[in-house]
Amino acid sequence: YSREPGDQWPETKWRFHRMLSNPPFGVTWGGKDGYEKEARKLERTRYQAGMPRVNDGALLFLQTMLAKMAPVAQGGSRIAIIFNGSPLSNGDCGSGESEIRRWILEHDWLDAIVMLPDQLFYNTGIFTYVWLLRNDKPLSHQGRVMLIDARRQFEKEPKSFGNKRNRITDTHRAWIEARYRDGWAEGYADEQVKIFARESFAYHKVSVVFWQTDEHDQPAIVTEPYQKTFSAANLKKEQEFHASDLSFRVRLMVKGEEKTVAFTVTSKDNAAKKFKEALAGADETLAVEWTHRHYVQDDEYIPHGEDIAAFLTREIAKPIIRWEETRKDGKPILGYEILPNKYFYRYQPPRPAKELLAEFWRLEKDAEKMLEGLTQ
């Protein structure tokens, strides 16, 4: 057994003008059976944008290629790589995947994505996507990304080969090439081609706390069992989150006798001190009930360019206590995701009930005939 030797073309010595890759889908790169030890050595250089989750190394392949791009002054580089859907949107704002997409888009390297038909590969029937990247974009491409919907550009295989039931011919390849070549022109119109500003894929992830209201649309107060571990540390967290009075009723065992203690913690109290005073001498905590403002904490995903405060006021329509963007190194950051299916979605109205009923009765009659044939 000989372990695969890995990359033999270090970017410190080698740069390339054209690069193509069909990396394996969903390959684990972490753990003892992967290449995590080797990959982590490059975390501050080749993989400086971020590390994806260890069960999918697709974006490591892409970063490896980007690291080997020839400078624009030396002719620049163009890259084509085929992915499944995971690199488009896996990972939340601030995750390794989102940070890699952010790095690529903010450097303006992503030129186009081609959506391919399904059932093109022997071992999987999934849809796949070709990413086209370059560091030498002409002026008409700069700050923009083209999406091409080529999902209908295929013909059936004469004979299925495992999951491979479709194939792309030269005619289909020419169709894709023509749209990539001509689609950048001003006024070009084709339903299968869309061009977006790179910022269109960016979003703010905002953690927002708002005040739930009751049936009279008044700020709600709720009394309920305390489900977390009742500790001084958790009490301090509740105090910081609610920033208002919290009332507790605690059933305790003290020297073999059951006892109930009630106390209130205000936003100005020392929560740890209050906790210790209330539970002094207790052998065991039996149950805790607390009364507090009914706050709801949720995450909102807001398109880049929207006024965050206005969006929250409009969409939540509840009294907002506070909100905060996802941060990295103390600064707000944007998340990035690309959702081609969303951009090319076509609404198809449901079939009328009359048609569905007629189809049902036709199938019913066909089934009756089949049963008659079995009994004869």
What's the CA gap between 141 and 158, in Å, rounded? 39
Q: Which amino acid is residue 228, in one-letter code? A: K
What's the CATH fold of domain 18-204?
Rossmann fold (3.40.50)
Chain segment 90-129, per-residue pLDDT in tens: 999 999 999 999 999 999 999 999 999 999 998 889 999 9
Sign of CA dihedral 358, 360, 364, 367: positive
Domain boundaries, the chain: 18-204, 221-293
Strand pairing category for 320-325 and 202-211? antiparallel
Whether the model clears a pTM of 0.85, i.e. scores above it, the answer is no
Does residue 135 surpass a pLDDT of 60? Answer: yes
Percent with pLDDT over 90 in the chain = 74
User: Do residues 210 and 316 make contact, with C-beta atoms less than 8 angstroms apart?
Assistant: yes
Higher model confidence: residue 370 or residue 248? Answer: 248
Chain segment 300-312, per-residue pLDDT in tens: 999 999 999 999 9
Does residue 1 surpass a pLDDT of 50? Answer: no
How is residue 95 written in tokens? Answer: 């995750």
CA distances from 292 to 216, 224, 225 (A): 18, 9, 11
CA atoms in the 13 A half-sphere facing the CB of 104: 32
Chain segment 207-252, per-residue pLDDT in tens: 999 988 888 888 899 999 999 999 999 999 999 988 889 999 999 9
Beta bridge partners of 112: 132, 146
Does residue 376 surpass a pLDDT of 70? Answer: no
